[in-house]
Structure 1
Amino acid sequence: MTDADNHALREALRGAASALKAHGPPFALAGSYGLWAYGAPEPVHDVDFVVAESDTEAAAKTLDEAGFVVERPPEDWLFKAHPPEAPEVTVDILHRVNGSPIGPAELAEAQLRDVLAIRMPVLPPSAILVQKLRALGEHDCDLAALLPATRAIREHLDWERIETDTDENPYAAAFLLLAQRLGLRDKS
């Protein structure tokens, strides 16, 4: 990752957040950049926002009118937006996560935070980690990739909620045991 890549991702985040903040619909920063807003390492892949499933088309229209190139991939739980000045950069707008629709309740728990000098709603770190842990499976089970972010934001995490909300996923249980054994969480 180069400084130019970081700059392009940051500008895409700023541009998308500014457009959504000004013209709606309600949204929240999520994913690795959401964790970054709480002190995790800066991501290197893409920017993730969530919107209510019922607001998907409104979000696409807002970003299209802001100059983003909107892409509809085969996955039916998100759309992608690319800033015209950096078409290789991706902003994912998710309206379903791990098969569950995003609704007003998920957006209501977002916390206002200053991210790159823009005050915006950011999902709580525990909710983001739950989403990441629920996504783990036998074909995508890189526990090590979650460790730096978890270590950096461990004081912000509600470990009981994370354990309860991921109890059906054995890969999440393995990560939680690893986090405990590494001293990232208490033994409760």
Structure 2
Amino acid sequence: MQPDDREEIRDLLKRTAVALKEGDVPFALCGGYAAWMRGAPEPDHDADFLVPAAESERAAKVLAEAGLEVADPAEDWLTKVVQGNSFVDVLWRVCGRPAEADLIDRAEIMPVLSVHMPVLAATDIVVTKLMALDEHYCDFSRMLPVARALREQVEWARVGRDTADNDFAAVFLVLLGRLGIVDVPPGDPTGS
């Protein structure tokens, strides 16, 4: 990502958050930028917000009414907000499941680039990132810096329980234990 692109995505992130706040749409910053706010490296791609599935249509309307360019992608689980070469994904499904309000309710209000907004809890960031791993996308090199940076903020036993059905997540947790990043016993993804 070039410096101009980074500023563009940061600007779009802020504008999207302000529009959702002013439109009274429940939301939380999620994905790489949420992890960045909690100490992980800054991502080199888009930003992501999560809204409850029941608020998806209203969120898109609020963003358009705020003057943002809203694109309707082929995927049926997100809306894209576009500015130049940058975009923000507004998701209402995570790993095939509708986003529930309790996930957003657990978010913590934090200053993000001078805008106060809800940021997904560290445990929820890790769970959602791990649940996205599958045979088509299994890039542990992107996950390792996040896990290392957030390790003291995460409830690892809950991560193990919430991702137990995902073999790729289970293997990643074993890797974290073997590397000494977290105390997850090898072969026991629940950490209990």
TM (norm. structure 2) is 0.93
The answer to whether structure 1 residue 20 and structure 2 residue 20 are counterparts is yes
> CA shift at 1:99, angstroms?
1.2
- Secondary structure at the residue paired with 2:158? helix
Q: Deviations over 1:123-178 (max 9, x none)?
A: 11111111111111111111111111111111111100110000011110111011
Matching residue's letter, 1:127: D
Residue range with higher mean Cα deviation, 60-69 or 171-180: 60-69
Q: Deviations over 1:52-87 (max 9, x none)?
A: 11111111111112222111112111111113xx2x
Matching residue's letter, 1:82: V
1:24, 1:59 within 8 Å by CA — same for their partners in 2?
no
Unaligned runs of 5+ in 1: none
In the other structure, the counterpart of 2:154 is 157
Percentage of pairs with the same residue: 45
The answer to whether structure 1 residue 107 and structure 2 residue 104 are counterparts is yes
In the other structure, the counterpart of 1:178 is 175
In the other structure, the counterpart of 1:54 is 54
In the other structure, the counterpart of 1:37 is 37
**Distance (whole Å) between structure 2 residues aligned to residue 91 and residue 144 of structure 1:** 23
In the other structure, the counterpart of 1:9 is 9
> CA shift at 1:24, angstroms?
2.2
Unaligned runs of 5+ in 2: 185-190
